[in-house]
Structure 1
Amino acid sequence: MKQAIVARTDIGMGQGKLAAQVAHASLSAYEKADSQRQRQWKDGGQKKVVLKGESERQLHELSEIADGQGVPNALIRDAGHTQLEPGTVTALAVGPAADDRVDRITGDLSLF
């Protein structure tokens, strides 16, 4: 079990903003998973990777693939209180799910 968080590299988020958006994405996708997946992922150490995303379009496409494969996911939109315009898509979390299911969706992306 793992989770992959894809964060956009094209919008110039600072390190703190990036960390907050990744955290929002991770928790939001976790909350969408069923209780069995939640338990398995928590018991397995909550494995996660952070990957580079190149655009808003890419995150939407990955989310649609995850939806089609029944993998919990969450797109995150910034509230716009600091660095970004309100509604800016910043990150996508895919999973928790079996490693191979997450890899089928995000396996071609580079580590952040």
Structure 2
Amino acid sequence: MDMSREHDGPSMALIVRKELHLSSGKIAVQCAHAAVSCALMAKKNEVRIMERWQASGARKICLEVEDLASLKSIMTQAKSAGLITYLVKDAGQTEVAAGTITVLGIGPGPRNSIDALVSDLKPY
């Protein structure tokens, strides 16, 4: 996946832990939790970015990461870059134990900044 070229508009990345082997439905719901939570944070704290993100089509990309350590590493880098982040912790009522971290949401934020963190990840 080539994400090195110049990009316009903000983006959001939703990063799923591959080793959990979540069902498609579970992934959809967990990514929705991350996207909504990140958007609400942006609406409160980053109004201009939120407005630009919505006006440019609210770009999102769903990617996979091998394990929790990799997910946390990306989160640390995203926070250091000043990006909005949100970790989804499952309620434990279906496929995984309560408190299991399933998805990391990053953004909305500058697409180049997000792409720099996730360019080596595969689409989910």
Instruction: Please indicate, yes or no, whether the TM-score normalized by the shorter chain is above 0.5.
Output: yes
Q: In 1, Cα distance between the equivalents of 2:66 and 2:53?
A: 27
Structure 2 counterparts to residues 40-79 of structure 1, below 5 A: 40-79=52-91
2:123 alignment partner AA: L
Higher CA-based Rg: 2
**How many residue pairs align between the two structures?**
112
Q: 2:50 aligns with which of 38, 45, 58?
A: 38
Q: CA deviation at 1:38?
A: 0.9
Q: CA deviation at 1:57?
A: 1.1
Partner of 1:80, secondary structure, is: coil
Q: 2:34 aligns with which of 25, 28, 52?
A: 25
Partner of 2:122, secondary structure, is: coil
Q: 1:106 aligns with which of 103, 108, 118?
A: 118
1:16 alignment partner AA: G
Moved beyond 2 Å, runs of 4+: none
Q: TM-score, normalising length from structure 2?
A: 0.87
Unaligned runs of 5+ in 1: none
- Counterpart position of 1:3: 12
Q: In 2, Cα distance between the equivalents of 1:108 and 1:41?
A: 23
Q: TM-score, normalising length from structure 1?
A: 0.96
Q: CA deviation at 1:86?
A: 0.3
2:22 alignment partner AA: M
For 1:11-63, what per-residue CA distance to the aligned partner results, in whole angstroms no more than 9, with x for missing partners?
11111101000111111122222111111101111001100111111111111
| 8 Å Cα contact 1:59-1:75 kept in structure 2 | no
